[in-house]
């Protein structure tokens, strides 16, 4: 699952992801909410997850942008990261 942090004033703990043909919000990820299972795989506990209604996608451009990017990631499409230093050689900085 690939989450996308929407740009804007949504806080650092809000992520948009795409699964089961729907757009979802995930929040309340903080230290202690991501644990390791006995087999070593990671699991999220006690997070807040809910489907993102179309109303918000239509009226909040930054959430819509994050949803489009999350869907593309989920479908395996190439998506340019938001990191302004992505693919920049350290020597160029």
The yes-or-no verdict on residue 55 having pLDDT over 80 is yes
Position of tokens 């506990």?
Answer: 45
Q: Which long-range contacts (CB under 8 A, 24 or more apart) does 82-91 make?
A: 82/5, 82/7
pTM of the model: 0.73
| DSSP per-residue codes, 22-89 | EEEEEE---TTSEEE-TTS-EEE-S-EEEE--HHHHHH-HHHHHHHHHHHHHHTT-----S-TTTT--
Selection from 9-13, 26-30, 62-66 with the highest mean pLDDT: 62-66
In this prediction, residue 86 carries a pLDDT of 63
Residue 12 makes CB contacts below 8 A (sequence gap 6+) with: 5
- Provide the 10 A C-beta neighbour count for residue 47: 14
In this prediction, residue 8 carries a pLDDT of 80
Mean pLDDT along residues 59-69: 93
């Amino acid at each position: 699952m690939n989450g996308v942090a929407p740009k804007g004033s949504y806080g650092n703990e809000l992520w948009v992801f795409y699964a089961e043909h729907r757009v979802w919000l995930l929040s309340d990820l903080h230290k202690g909410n991501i644990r390791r299972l006995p087999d070593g795989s990671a699991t999220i506990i006690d997070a807040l997850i809910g489907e993102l209604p179309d109303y918000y996608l239509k009226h909040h451009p930054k959430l819509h942008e994050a949803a489009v990017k999350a869907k593309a990631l989920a479908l395996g499409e190439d998506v340019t990261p938001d990191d302004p230093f992505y693919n920049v050689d350290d020597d160029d900085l």
